[in-house]
Chain A
Amino acid sequence: MIESKYYKTWEQYMAEHPEISEREEKAMSSRMQTYEEMMFGFVMFLLI
């Protein structure tokens, strides 16, 4: 688990956004987290 201001797991994101409904969460979770993971991969690539 990575603790960072700049990377959030979906669970961390949801904890910070209680306004998101169950329906919204179902629709958006995989899409939103994919971009989070892509950005993490990109940042790490910049240092290898």
Chain B
Amino acid sequence: MSDVKALAEERTQMLVDVLAGRIPKRVPVCPTITYEYAVEYTGNSLFEAFWHMENFEKISDVICRDFYVDLFPMNYLRFPALYKTLGARNWVQGSNGFMQHPEVVGLLEEEYDEFIESPYDCIMEKVLPRIYTNLNTDPVTRSIVLAKAFKIFNDEFGNIGAVTAKLSAKYGLANVNLFSAAPSAPFDFVADQLRGFRNIMLDIRRIPEKVEAAVKAAAPLMTKMGLPAGPTPPNTAVFIPMHMGPFMRTADFERFYYPTFKEMVENFVKAGLHVLLFVEQDMMRYLDHLNDLPENTIMWFELGDPKLAKEKVGKKHIITGFYPVTMLKTGTVEQCVDKAKEILDILAPGGRYFFNFDKAPLTFDTAKPENLKAVLEYVAQNANY
């Protein structure tokens, strides 16, 4: 067996052990690094790079070469070619190339009943043409726009999938997929691009029954989105970013958010998938709810108290995150490594932990590369069990 294959097997085993709740040989190093960061690290322009995703391999190769990782660290979703073709209002490229996400309202208040009655039909007929202006046209033009967009979508994700496999093989990275799909929690789906942040908060007060029914109607769509079309591949997780919880009262979270979310997570686990939650912002007041999810749910924490999280969910679930990525911008190498030691001392004992930052460094100016390298190297060389 070649060295690189043996390395991949070793790294895969470490992650498989963590996902199964076993103590691995060492804490796996699984940072997420945004494509934006990679593009700027390699001296490229965001604007051009996003239009030329054929460079994804070349740029990703440099990241895999220069930074210690056990798992392929990058992905990218917001292709300007796709959103421009559709005339998108929800994803718009800024003058610096960065893809901006303006607040949109895809579903009007008077359309709740239509959505509740048949959510997918309502999405196709009302929501998509409202958010994607080039679909709001005659049927022939609309079919051409949608065909182009579908082609772009498949080309871009096909390229990213192929590059991920190629570079994982080249660098002996783990054969584990933590981002097989990215469905939203049903409440987040209704909140994010259907009603929008402001409206959903008002709707909860004014028309709670409609909100509750809409969330229930959205749940099968989100579940279907996360399930693989064929047999479930091994070592595969569905990624669910949790958005709205921190902005809700606990009683509202328990009524509107948690029931369908929990059911969705349980359905994924029944189907043989792992679940990776991005626990956004500070959700420490929901730790008991999170602990009630199926065993070995992966929880990537952004803010909060790592000691409390370890104590409350760390015996049953898998924790990652908490390392403040802002430190990579403001700290010295020594301070950044000390922070890694502190986080490891809290989260590594007993296993059920892999290393990642609280969020991915977004652009090059958000993390000094020497700090990023030092922290990843430190964990890789020292976090042995």
Q: How many residues of B contact A (CB 8 A)?
A: 29
Interface stretch among B17-25, B118-126, B330-338, B343-351? B118-126
Q: Are B225 and A41 interface neighbours, CB within 8 A?
A: yes
The answer, yes or no, to whether A4 is at the interface (CB within 8 Å) is yes
Q: Are A40 and B224 interface neighbours, CB within 8 A?
A: yes
The smallest C-beta distance from A28 to any residue of chain B, in angstroms, reads: 16
The smallest C-beta distance from B180 to any residue of chain A, in angstroms, reads: 11
B110-155 contacts to A (CB < 8 Å):
118, 120-121, 123-124, 127-128, 131-132, 149-150, 153-154
Q: Chain A: which residue is nearest B228 at the CB level?
A: A37
Q: Are B121 and A43 interface neighbours, CB within 8 A?
A: no
The smallest C-beta distance from A44 to any residue of chain B, in angstroms, reads: 5
Q: Are B124 and A43 interface neighbours, CB within 8 A?
A: yes
Contact count band on A: 20 to 34
Q: Chain B: which residue is nearest A47 at the CB level?
A: B193
How many A-B residue contacts, CB cutoff 8 Å? Answer: 59
Which residues from B are CB-within-8-Å of A34? 229
The answer, yes or no, to whether B361 is at the interface (CB within 8 Å) is no
Q: Are B220 and A1 interface neighbours, CB within 8 A?
A: yes
The answer, yes or no, to whether A7 is at the interface (CB within 8 Å) is yes
Pairs of residues from A and B, 8 with the lowest C-beta to C-beta distance, nearest first: A4-B120, A37-B229, A44-B225, A6-B124, A47-B193, A4-B121, A42-B153, A48-B184
List residues of chain A with CB under 8 Å of any chain B CB: 1-7, 33-34, 37-48
Q: 15 A-B pairs, CB-CB below 8 angstroms? A: A1-B220, A2-B221, A4-B124, A6-B121, A34-B229, A40-B224, A42-B150, A42-B153, A43-B120, A43-B124, A44-B183, A44-B225, A47-B123, A47-B127, A47-B128
18 new A-B contacts, CB < 8 A, other than A38-B150, A47-B131, are A1-B220, A2-B221, A4-B120, A6-B121, A7-B120, A39-B150, A40-B224, A42-B153, A43-B124, A44-B183, A44-B221, A44-B222, A44-B224, A46-B86, A47-B127, A47-B189, A47-B193, A48-B189
